[in-house]
């Protein structure tokens, strides 16, 4: 009887293989899966962040920390000076708009 070989199938886009199997979007060293999360809508798209995250953490996660953006949480504008202190809550609706310059 011939030895069978285990053939791995390629992972779908956005999936990573770990010791405990495949988790969509998971990355090596991703400890966010270990603790409580909050779920919100960002520009109409679902997102998950660690519980207790603020607007600054969201901007950092989205790669927008250094960009000029306007942030609205549940219909209220959050000034840049309050990004670090404005905690996000489960179910929040966040809109981020990029400021564009030109003439």
SS3 75: coil
What's the half-sphere exposure (Cβ side, CA atoms, 13 Å) at 49? 22
pLDDT digit string, tens, across residues 30-88: 444 557 999 999 999 999 999 999 999 999 999 999 999 999 999 999 999 999 999 99
User: For position 102, what pLDDT does the model report?
Assistant: 72
Whole-model pTM: value is: 0.64
CA–CA separation, 49 vs 70, rounded Å?
Answer: 19
What does the pLDDT read at residue 99? Answer: 73
Rg, Å, the chain Cα set: 19
Residue 2: predicted pLDDT: 52
Q: Please give the residue that has the higher pLDDT: either 53 or 101.
A: 53
């Amino acid at each position: 009887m011939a030895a069978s070989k285990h053939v791995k199938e390629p992972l779908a886009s956005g999936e990573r293989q770990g010791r405990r199997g495949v988790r969509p979007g998971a990355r090596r060293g991703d400890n966010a899966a270990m603790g409580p999360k909050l779920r919100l809508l960002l520009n109409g798209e679902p997102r998950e962040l660690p519980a207790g995250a603020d607007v600054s953490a969201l901007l950092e996660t989205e790669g927008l920390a250094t960009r000029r953006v306007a942030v609205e949480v549940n219909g209220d504008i959050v000034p840049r000076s309050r990004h670090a202190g404005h905690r996000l809550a489960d179910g929040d609706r966040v809109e981020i708009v990029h400021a564009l310059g030109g003439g």
